[in-house]
């Protein structure tokens, strides 16, 4: 089946995440990638770390084999994300500190994560994916 990608925003996340969790048992591996929204004028993320990390993460996930699910969760524009009360900053499950953040989701919990400053590093992405096998 290959890489299955679903997208969510802050407003649609709960509904999309519920379905993602229900289907997680059917996947070899499940990941959540928290990203900054794209700037409509450039179609690139406002976050330079996201622009750098996204292609590397997708390449590694696509190469990792079949039945991998990725939930891309967009945190909003820069002012929305900068708010200290952003829902994913204060959420006890995710406790986001930066974007991009790549999370391996196993057994209905965060099993491992790569934070913004390391989410573009090839060896770190490979290690996170290898742990899911």
Query: Which secondary-structure segment (H or E) carries 78?
Result: helix 78-82
Backbone angles phi, psi at 106, to 5 degrees: -140, 145
Question: CB of 104 within 8 A of CB of 71?
Answer: no
| Other beta carbons within 10 Å of 35 | 23
User: Is 90 one of the catalytic residues?
Assistant: no
Distance CA 80, CA 25 (A): 32
Of 32, 35, 50, 61, which one is the catalytic site residue? 50
Distance CA 5, CA 23 (A): 12
Length of the chain (residues): 133
Indicate the pairing of strand 68-74 with strand 38-39: unpaired
Of 8, 32, 36, 47, which one is the catalytic site residue? 47
User: Is 50 one of the catalytic residues?
Assistant: yes
Indicate which residues carry an active-site annotation. Answer: 47, 50
């Amino acid at each position: 089946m290959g890489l299955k990608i679903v997208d969510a925003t802050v407003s649609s996340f709960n509904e999309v995440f519920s379905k993602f969790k229900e289907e997680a048992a059917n996947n070899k591996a499940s990941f959540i990638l928290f990203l900054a929204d794209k700037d409509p004028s450039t179609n690139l993320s406002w976050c330079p770390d996201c622009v750098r990390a996204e292609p590397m993460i997708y390449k590694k996930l696509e190469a990792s084999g079949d039945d991998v699910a990725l939930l891309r969760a967009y945190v909003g524009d820069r002012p929305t994300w900068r708010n200290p009360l952003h829902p994913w900053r204060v959420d006890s499950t995710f406790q986001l500190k930066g974007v991009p953040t790549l999370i391996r989701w196993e057994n209905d919990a965060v099993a491992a994560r790569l934070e913004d400053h390391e989410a573009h590093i090839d060896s770190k992405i490979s290690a996170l994916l290898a742990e899911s096998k």
